[in-house]
Structure 1
Amino acid sequence: MQHYNYIFTGSGLSALMTVYEMIQSGKFVDKSILLIDQNLKKSNDRTWCFWDNGNLFEPVISKKWDIAYFANENFQRNLELNPYQYKMIRGIDFYNLVFEKITKHKSIQFHNEQVLSYEQLENHCLVKTESSSFSCDKIFNSIFIPEVVKTQMKYPLLQQHFIGWFIKSKEDTFNPNLATFMDFSIEQKGNTRFMYVLPTSTNEALLEYTLFSADLLPKQEYETEIINYIKKLGITDYEIIAKEQGNIPMTSYPFWKHNTKNIINIGSAGGWTKASTGFTFKNTIKKSKQLTQFLENETDFRKFHKKDKFWFYDLLFIDVLFKNNALGSSVFSSLFQKGDPKLIFKFLDEQTSLLEDFSVMLKCPTIPFMKALISRLFRF
């Protein structure tokens, strides 16, 4: 049985980002690392977007926008993002970037197989696949098991679920310099529903029909709404270049409580997704950097996570939307109708002071959040 210092069960964003940070740090060249996944990461299976005021992963940024559009049934606004930009990365470009670095390190290997089980034993950890077993000192697990959250009621679970179409139209319809961040003008049907549009040229764009809700929809319902929105834009002749779909857990469930001394849960399995927005990429950058720095000085994974004020803010937000899912449009509209976009994005990036926090939160509907706060205080 081959032994490694570190094994990653799963090679999604969180695993690849953590390995990338370990390589960048130069502090783990003497460590043997194994990534195990049944997916070879050879296709463009997803798109990540994030706002940034720096040069994060600039070589693989496929498109960026300086202005974002927000709308509901009553108003619309173009959000000036400066000093931020809204940026897009294609999954395949990120995979290629990281695996190119991995291939330069003989101590880092990839095993293409499904993980069946993993466990911490007395002196080491054990990972089993369909045909092999591996031992290691530490496990980084990114395999998300929804039942962990669904079998409890203290921390509700919403899902950011969507289907997106990359289309190319005959008409020049889109403004390639304007990203539609959230368009709530579509029918809400008792949920939080919006369209998300990322134009890459005057006649090409990714359109996603997105919900923040507890339950998924039949596939046809997402696609019908995309077709309706395309008609609303005045597009009559187009072709579908590609499709994507996703389902991102939105919860403040304390996944870190399942960490052991030698096994840590990362990515969605570790609560790395920003609960209030479902945004993953930027939060994973932050968490992977923290974890890499932690590994340089610590050995007990139970010490890694620390709750902060933003975890509690997200918890209240999920409580509000879980109890009344139709409030999403009014909550986000209250923020973006008159609020400073730069401050809102800074808040969502978890970089604001307490005074700035209150400046943002005071724009939200007061009564639902006060009820959620009172209810939550009795549930701790």
Structure 2
Amino acid sequence: MKHDYIFAGIGLASLMVLDKMLDAKLLESKKILLLESNNKNSNDRTWCFWDNKLGDFDDLVSKKWEQALFINDKQTIECLSDNANYKMIESIRFYNYVLDKLKKYPEIVWKKENFISFEDKGSEVIITSNVAKYSTAIFFNSVFDVSKIEYNKKYPLLKQHFIGWFVKTTEPIFDANYATFMDFSIPQKGNTRFMYVLPFSETQALVEYTLFSANLLQDNEYEEAINNYLKEKGATSFEIIKKEQGNIPMTVFPFWKNNSKNVLHIGTAGGWTKASTGYTFKNTIKQSGRLVLLLKNKTIDFRNFNKLNRFLFYDTLFVRVLYKNNDLGKKIFSNMFLKVQPKKIFKFLDEESNLKEELEIILACPKIPFIRSLLRFKW
């Protein structure tokens, strides 16, 4: 049987695309196959993003903060404007939300198999799993293989890697209204290192030790840093409720070149993670919207689903600078938040700023490393 659509990997990107397709009534009478071996019945990650106080998916938000902080050795800066919040969505809530909607469509079939490979033959795409072969008109792949980009010299791979502890302290040391985006008051040790703190109450929070760097640490190095940070904040004793660990690629590798006429790579596998921040959720909303508009056309060719714009240029310079001079992160972010209104920085990171605002941010950054990176720049 030939399918209309096959999705490999059922995570944020695939479910967001399916949700947008549902809203656009693009799944009516379509034969759709989902390939994913994981049941998606646990909270395996959280997504956080800054947003207007009233925004998309607010019903799924488990926690939001009215303010967020940037901290370095000298200053603490409040980052969010009056009409913004920082929001958290637990993955299980999003999974359940979309999967419950999909249950109304009996022609959407989920097979718990592992995707292996694909071949676009022009008139059809042949998908191979660990169990069988399938045929489809259009294939969406969100299975990311980092080995294919890890040692690419032209597009260096910076990593946002972290370990986080969900902790409960004996003393009330947190302010539940304030998230901490970046606390650079910790030792940098030649890298870009900061603490990320999401408090749920005065005694409970997620505390993550995060690096933007090319190489990972040993687990005990992250955990020792978290332990020291909590003690410095006044936690004489605490309980670790659970832990999380992540490694998010920060790269401008041209994933779109892997697309073919009938095959589109989505999510991290399609470059939907913002290279300069590692944030994914809001960018996935935007890219899914672009995709749905394309699917409404009678002629589809995913080789043209790329996005060459000035923000890709900015991200390219940033990644190259930080990859080559990894100790500069604290200075780059400190200069930005000290010299530029935070709301302009968030517009810039959301790719919604204007040229005047972008110039202000660029001028706030250290000049020489970016000029050197610019001189070596090639699309």
Q: Could you say which residue in structure 1 is the equivalent of 2:72?
A: 72
Q: Could you say which residue in structure 1 is the equivalent of 2:168?
A: 168
Map residues 1-380 of structure 1 onto 2, 5 A cutoff. Answer: 2-53=1-52, 54-297=54-297, 298-376=299-377, 379-380=378-379
Please give the secondary structure, in 2, of the residue aligned with 1:171: coil
Give the C-alpha shift of residue 73 in structure 1: 2.0
Q: Residue type matched to 2:235 in 1? A: I
Give the C-alpha shift of residue 166 in structure 1: 0.8
Contact 1:84–1:342, Cα closer than 8 Å, also in 2: no
Q: Residue type matched to 1:37 in 2? A: E
Contact 1:175–1:199, Cα closer than 8 Å, also in 2: yes
Give the C-alpha shift of residue 359 in structure 1: 1.8
Contact 2:163–2:244, Cα closer than 8 Å, also in 1: yes
Q: Find the aligned partners of 1:12 and 1:97 in 2 and give their Cα distance.
A: 13
Q: Find the aligned partners of 1:236 and 1:47 in 2 and give their Cα distance.
A: 28
Please give the secondary structure, in 1, of the residue aligned with 2:373: helix
Q: Find the aligned partners of 2:304 and 2:251 in 1 and give their Cα distance.
A: 21
Which whole-Å deviations, capped at 9, do the CAs of 1:112-138 have from their partners, x for residues lacking one? Answer: 121122221242111122222211111
Q: Find the aligned partners of 1:306 and 1:204 in 2 and give their Cα distance.
A: 41
Q: Residue type matched to 1:343 in 2? A: K
Q: Find the aligned partners of 2:80 and 2:124 in 1 and give their Cα distance.
A: 52
Structure 1 59/255 Cα, relative in aligned 2: closer, same or farther at 3 Å?
same
Please give the secondary structure, in 1, of the residue aligned with 2:79: strand
Q: Find the aligned partners of 1:75 and 1:6 in 2 and give their Cα distance.
A: 52
Which whole-Å deviations, capped at 9, do the CAs of 1:3-28 have from their partners, x for residues lacking one? Answer: 21111111111111111111111133
Contact 1:159–1:250, Cα closer than 8 Å, also in 2: yes
Q: Find the aligned partners of 1:104 and 1:236 in 2 and give their Cα distance.
A: 52
Which whole-Å deviations, capped at 9, do the CAs of 1:282-319 have from their partners, x for residues lacking one? Answer: 11111111111111114111111131110100000001
Percent identity (aligned):
51
Which whole-Å deviations, capped at 9, do the CAs of 1:58-82 have from their partners, x for residues lacking one? Answer: 1110111121111112322222432
Q: Residue type matched to 2:268 in 1? A: S
Which contiguous aligned blocks of 4+ residues in structure 1 show a shift greater than 4 angstroms? none
Contact 1:49–1:86, Cα closer than 8 Å, also in 2: yes
Contact 1:68–1:81, Cα closer than 8 Å, also in 2: no
Moved more, 249-258 or 32-41: 32-41
Structure 1 segments unaligned to the other structure (5+ residues): none
Contact 2:122–2:261, Cα closer than 8 Å, also in 1: no
Contact 1:29–1:107, Cα closer than 8 Å, also in 2: no
Q: Find the aligned partners of 2:76 and 2:65 in 1 and give their Cα distance.
A: 18
Contact 2:340–2:360, Cα closer than 8 Å, also in 1: no
With structure 1 as the length reference, what TM-score do the two structures score?
Answer: 0.96
Q: Find the aligned partners of 1:105 and 1:306 in 2 and give their Cα distance.
A: 32
| Cα-Cα RMSD | 1.2
Aligned length in residues: 377
Contact 1:83–1:342, Cα closer than 8 Å, also in 2: no
Please give the secondary structure, in 1, of the residue aligned with 2:364: coil
Structure 2 segments unaligned to the other structure (5+ residues): none
Q: Find the aligned partners of 1:209 and 1:151 in 2 and give their Cα distance.
A: 25
With structure 2 as the length reference, what TM-score do the two structures score?
Answer: 0.97
